[in-house]
Amino acid sequence: MAPSLPEELPWVEKYRPNKIKDLVYQQEAAQLLHNCLTSGNLPHCLFYGPPGTGKTSAALAFCKELFPPEIYKDRVLELNASDERGIKVVREKIKRFAQGSVSSAQFEGFPCPPFKIIILDEADAITPDAQTALRRTMEQFSKITRFFLLCNYVTRVIDPLASRCAKFRFRSLPMQLQVDRLRYIVDQEGIMVSDDILQTLTSCCNGDLRRAIMTLESAYCLARGSNITDEIINSVTWRVPDHVISQIDSNCLKICSSGENTLQFSELRNMAIEFINNGYPVSEIIYQLCEALIPVNHLNKLQKSVIMIKFAQAEKMLIDGSDELLVLMDIFGVLFQVYNEPDNVEKLIWLTRN
Amino acid sequence: MKSSQYVHFFFSNEPLFFLEDLMTRQGGLLWVDKYRPKTLETLDIHPEWTEKLASLCEQGTLPHLLFYGPSGVGKRTRIYALLRQVFGIAIEKRQVEHRFLKVGEPPKEVELTTITSAHHIELCPADVGYNDRLVIQEIVKEIASSKPIELGNVHRGYKVVVLHDIDEVSKQAQQALRRTMEKYTSCCRIIMSAESVTRVMEPIRSRCLGIRIPCPKKEEIEQVLQKIAKKEGLVLPDCYANQLVTQSKGNLRKAILLLQVGRAIAYPFSQQQQKKNEEEEESWISSQETGWDWERLCYDIANIVIREQNPKQLCNIRNKLYELFCHAIPGDMIFRKITLHLLRMMDEEVAPQVCHWAAHYEYGMKRGSKEIFHLEAFLAKVMYIYYSHIHTQYSMAWMDD
């Protein structure tokens, strides 16, 4: 059983970079980590950025290069949101690990600098109380312990913690780099995929490399050895099909150009019900509709601003758990009025009330 | 497992009568369970996914999966069928356990219902309520991190954790799931089901393959109903089947339940059809639109708002709302139903406003704690809007807040 296991790994894990130099993009962080490998100097670090940009991969790859497997467990403590990280854990577990001294044993081929590393993954999920408790610990033991804080939203890490770390923003990966990486994986797996397909694939993933790899693998599995087509890609991404999005815009246009006497909101209402029945995620509809409406010419600036404000409000409501159907109908209601009365400034502004 | 699934059903016209019929004649099995497809090949709806899922199993590298779509479209059935495909017949030996577990620091006792077989475990973290984070942190991680035991020839090298209603669990619990999903992929796959993916956070979504299950088409529902009727040896006239399909609104489970209730009330079905026609027209329309009694109550409430707008009627509505709450109908379902009925009956001109206020007050309800306040506030607002709309031709109602 043991030898067969590595093959069973999903590609996302299989192709996770094991060395700093394999890291895609993120030059500043890679540069710093690389310097540290040679000099042995390392500040506390804070990596932040959107999902799938390589924060965890960078931290793990760095640790793997720094320490040999034999002492890895003694030197590196990885805590993520799946571990209890209340104030008690910070006071006891983290502090105990941070206190212990390190041996100066050297291993061939590994720099093995005389400090330990604590990786706090998903640091934005640590409670503010626990973060406060961490402040002094970080300073007190900085001689023998370094911290890596990884998070999506830097604003949720309290300032005193952030100011103790060197901050690195992990940016969304540019299309081309993602395509290159996917190309590498595809070559390793021995699959024939055209560049166009890889392009469409990455364009669906908003710079999230993990999602791109994940999608690629699913598409490959679904295609069952035959060629991967656009259609398959569409069925495995989270995106709402483009024709659905353009249908909203064209329906609104059709309704408002049909003359003032035949106000037909019911058509939009039925469309909303149909979308919900089809299971399209409303957050995704908002996101794609927003992208689609910004470049159009048939809306003026005021109309667009009103729509965008509405989107922002709706997104907040959805995150707080509002009913999807009601929110979607609310959005359509606003769209309907915005399309119908492009010049009624007073009313349009009033629509943005909260 | 999901308590609300059948609750609406038992609040129907003749629950006792129906139950009696169920126990004596039909062996105590609901048709929904009796005719639930067990394998991928026998799934009736969405054939396009069947083949794809089968090929996913074949590859041996099953990714994490997230099934999403409205309720009653067969997400759970599909998950079972998929597990059956992967692990074979062994998955059918399922055990339901009620466990009391001590989790967290200091230890808290939580009650959790799990369904287990040799290869999978199934739980619904949202059932635990406030402590769902602890369940995910401790239980799911513990299950996920241990290697599966080898069992005969169906050994797959991984086991499966099924998490239902993942959209209902808290943000912290979802956070807790993130690294667990990555760290233990070598020996564990997670399959989740959700009604609304919007509430599933982005990092979770980017870790799994999303499978969207839309509502079945009307013809598909009708086919399934006819198939069941045939197996039960019943004659199902097309017009009655049509009525059931309309009532079900794309919810296959509801359609099947309605069929069974209809069977218990009167057979042959044609009698029922006639009985409906004799009643006065209005109640016939409402029964066309609605299936269960609680839905009819929502219809009544909407009707009152449209007909008369005054405080007296608001009191009247309050009684009806309390009746709904007494039967444990969740507030968001009431909100949805009433709004849809209102929109259908109202003038098109005020509809966008009603939509706005519906979303507004529903949002308030989700954040607040007393559902009745928000529902009443909404209905009062709609009364006001509608009143001013009728009484002034050029309504300025949108101006006041």
| Residues of A in Cβ contact (< 8 Å) with B60 | 7-8
Burial environment of residue A9 by CB neighbours within 10 A (0 to 12, 13 to 18, 19 or more)? middle
Contact B63 A82 (CB under 8 A): no
| Residues of A in Cβ contact (< 8 Å) with B188 | none
Is the pLDDT at B286 greater than 50? The verdict is: no
Q: Which chain B residue's Cα is nearest to A9?
A: B186
Is the pLDDT at B374 greater than 90? The verdict is: yes
Task: Give Cα separations from A293 to A121, A286, A298, A300, A335 (angstroms).
Answer: 37, 10, 9, 11, 11
Within 10 A of A148 (CB to CB), how many other CB atoms are there?
25
Within 10 A of B330 (CB to CB), how many other CB atoms are there?
14
Each of the 354 residues of chain A gets a pLDDT tens digit; together they read 333 444 567 788 888 888 888 888 888 888 888 888 888 788 899 999 988 888 889 999 999 888 888 888 888 988 887 777 778 888 788 888 888 888 777 787 788 888 889 999 888 888 888 888 888 888 888 888 999 999 988 898 999 888 989 899 998 888 888 898 889 998 888 888 888 888 888 888 878 888 888 888 888 877 776 777 777 787 778 788 888 888 888 888 887 776 655 557 888 888 899 898 888 889 889 989 998 888 888 888 888 999 999 999 999 999 888 888 999 999 998 888 888 888 788 888 888 776
Contact B348 A266 (CB under 8 A): yes
| Residues of B in Cβ contact (< 8 Å) with A350 | 398-399
Contact B105 A273 (CB under 8 A): no
Is the distance from CB of A12 to CB of A213 less than 8 angstroms?
Answer: yes
pLDDT confidence of residue A257: 74
> Nearest-CA neighbor of A154 among A55, A85, A253, A242?
A55
Contact A330 B359 (CB under 8 A): yes
Average pLDDT, chain B: 79
pLDDT confidence of residue B267: 67
Taking the alpha carbons at both ends of chain B, their separation in whole angstroms is 43
Which one of B356, B361, B375 makes the best mutation probe of the A interface by having the most chain A beta carbons within 10 Å?
A: B356
Phi and psi angles of residue B114, each rounded to the nearest 5 degrees, phi first:
-125, 150
pLDDT confidence of residue B4: 40
Sequence-distant (≥ 6) Cβ neighbours of residue A322 within 8 angstroms: B359, B362, B363, B366
At residue B379, what is the residue type?
Answer: L
Residue A350 corresponds to which tokens in the numbers above?
């009033």
Cα(A197)–Cα(A191) distance, rounded to whole angstroms? Answer: 13
Contact B185 A238 (CB under 8 A): no
Least CB-CB distance to B179: which of A4, A80, A84? A80
Length of chain A: 354
* Fold designation for B293-391: Zinc Finger, Delta Prime; domain 3 (1.20.272)
Which one of B64, B248, B339, B363 makes the best mutation probe of the A interface by having the most chain A beta carbons within 10 Å?
A: B363
Is the pLDDT at B288 greater than 80? The verdict is: no
Cα(B48)–Cα(A94) distance, rounded to whole angstroms? Answer: 51
pLDDT confidence of residue B26: 58
**Least trusted range by pLDDT, from A41-55, B8-22, B262-276:** B8-22
Domain chopping of chain A, boundaries: 2-169, 175-236, 242-351
Beta-sheet pairing, B120-123 with B108-116: antiparallel
Contact B176 A81 (CB under 8 A): yes
Contact A281 B198 (CB under 8 A): yes
Contact B359 A329 (CB under 8 A): yes
Which one of B179, B215, B399 makes the best mutation probe of the A interface by having the most chain A beta carbons within 10 Å?
A: B179
DSSP string for residues in A331-343? HHHHHHHHHH-TT
Contact A82 B202 (CB under 8 A): no
Beta-sheet pairing, A45-48 with A166-169: parallel
Which one of A322, A332, A351 makes the best mutation probe of the B interface by having the most chain B beta carbons within 10 Å?
A: A322
**Least trusted range by pLDDT, from A176-180, A253-257, B121-125, B368-372:** A253-257
A242-351: which CATH architecture? Up-down Bundle (1.20)
Cα(B287)–Cα(B247) distance, rounded to whole angstroms? Answer: 8
| Residue that is written with structure tokens 């396009």 in the block | B48
Least CB-CB distance to A278: which of B179, B214, B332? B214
**Residue range B74-93: average pLDDT?**
86
Contact A321 B199 (CB under 8 A): yes
> Nearest-CA neighbor of B30 among B13, B6, B4?
B6
Give the minimum alpha-carbon distance from A274 to chain B in angstroms, rounded to a whole number: 9
Is the distance from CB of A44 to CB of A246 less than 8 angstroms?
Answer: no
Is the pLDDT at B168 greater than 70? The verdict is: yes
Residue B254 corresponds to which tokens in the numbers above?
């509801």
Within 10 A of A291 (CB to CB), how many other CB atoms are there?
10
Phi and psi angles of residue B192, each rounded to the nearest 5 degrees, phi first:
-120, 155
The ipTM estimated for the assembled molecules is 0.83
Contact A13 B186 (CB under 8 A): yes
pLDDT confidence of residue B264: 74
Is the pLDDT at B398 greater than 90? The verdict is: no
Indicate the Cα dihedral angle A309, A310, A315, A318, nearest 10°. 150
**Residue range B328-343: average pLDDT?**
88
Contact B398 A221 (CB under 8 A): no
| Residues of A in Cβ contact (< 8 Å) with B82 | none
Is the pLDDT at B164 greater than 60? The verdict is: yes
* Fold designation for A175-236: Helicase, Ruva Protein; domain 3 (1.10.8)
A-to-B residue pairs, Cβ atoms closer than 8 angstroms:
195
pLDDT confidence of residue B192: 93
Q: Which chain A residue's Cα is nearest to B208?
A: A214
Intervals of CATH 1.20.272.10 along chain B: 293-391
| Residues of B in Cβ contact (< 8 Å) with A283 | 197-198
**Residue range B259-285: average pLDDT?**
59
Least CB-CB distance to B137: which of A84, A325, A334? A84
DSSP string for residues in A154-213? GGGS-HHHHTTSEEEE-PPPPHHHHHHHHHHHHHHHT----HHHHHHHHHTTTT-HHHHH
Least CB-CB distance to A330: which of B175, B250, B356? B356
Q: Kind and range of the H or E element at B381? A: helix B371-391
B145-154: Cβ within 8 A, 24+ apart: B145/B183, B145/B184, B145/B187, B145/B188, B146/B187, B147/B187, B148/B119, B148/B187, B149/B118, B150/A1, B151/B90, B151/B118, B151/B119, B152/B90, B154/B87, B154/B88, B154/B90, B154/B119
Contact A279 B213 (CB under 8 A): yes
Cα(B224)–Cα(B231) distance, rounded to whole angstroms? Answer: 11
Which one of A82, A213, A222, A340 makes the best mutation probe of the B interface by having the most chain B beta carbons within 10 Å?
A: A82
What is B46-212's CATH number, 3.40.1160.10, 3.30.930.10, 3.40.50.300, 1.10.3720.10? Answer: 3.40.50.300
Contact A236 B355 (CB under 8 A): no
Q: What sign has the CA pseudo-torsion A70, A71, A76, A77?
A: positive
Query: B371-391 and B293-307 helices cross at what angle (nearest 10)?
Result: 40
Is the distance from CB of A265 to CB of B348 less than 8 angstroms?
Answer: yes
Is the distance from CB of A275 to CB of A285 less than 8 angstroms?
Answer: yes
- CATH homologous superfamily of domain A2-169? P-loop containing nucleotide triphosphate hydrolases (3.40.50.300)
Banded pLDDT at B173 (limits 50, 70, 90): confident
Give the minimum alpha-carbon distance from A93 to chain B in angstroms, rounded to a whole number: 13
Banded pLDDT at B12 (limits 50, 70, 90): very low
Distance of CA A40 to the CA centre of its chain: 31
> Nearest-CA neighbor of A175 among A136, A149, A201?
A201
Contact B215 A277 (CB under 8 A): yes
**Residue range B113-126: average pLDDT?**
86
pLDDT confidence of residue B142: 80
